[in-house]
Amino acid sequence: MNVGRICTRLPETTHLDASVLAAAQQMAAQEVGTLVVTNSGGRPEGIVTDRDIVVRCLAEELPPQETTVSEIMTRAPITVWEDTEVEAALETMADKEVRRLVVLDDAERVVGIVSLDDFLEGIMAASEEIGRLLRRQVHV
């Protein structure tokens, strides 16, 4: 199975010059905790999370309406291609010690984001399917 099958497609994105306040409002409106920060070509430049907003902006007493996401984001997010196998993506997450990967298409544009939760949900779904197949075999 590849990452493209389990990732969240078309994740919420923002631009480098967006204010932290605008990013926080977007997160609240879309009920997400992560935004992929893209450049004008749709390529990833960073990731900003609700935790980044609290730790890197509010705790530092930076004004959220004047501070840009580029000032608090995690730069150079770890990326994988949408056809990357799940096992390879998990190895990348472990090696880089990250909980999220930005998923790219062949043109290096953002098409998704995959988190540890997505992998766990995929494992649970596969386990349920295996259980159904086993139950059917018992009744044959």
Q: What is the CATH number of the domain that holds 64?
A: 3.10.580.10
Give the pLDDT score at 8: 87
Place of tokens 């004008």: 40
Q: How many domains does the structure of the chain reveal?
A: 1
H or E element, residue 44: strand 44-49
CA geometry: angle 100, 103, 104, nearest 5 deg: 150
Contact (Cβ atoms closer than 8 angstroms) between residue 3 and residue 101: yes
Segment 60-66 shows an average pLDDT of 96
Can you tell me the distance from the alpha carbon of 58 to that of 53, in angstroms, rounded to the nearest whole number? 6
Q: Is the pLDDT of residue 140 over 60?
A: no
Domain that holds residue 14: 3-138
Can you tell me the distance from the alpha carbon of 78 to that of 101, in angstroms, rounded to the nearest whole number? 6
Who wins on pLDDT, 118 or 70? Answer: 70
Model pTM score: 0.81
Can you tell me the distance from the alpha carbon of 135 to that of 18, in angstroms, rounded to the nearest whole number? 53
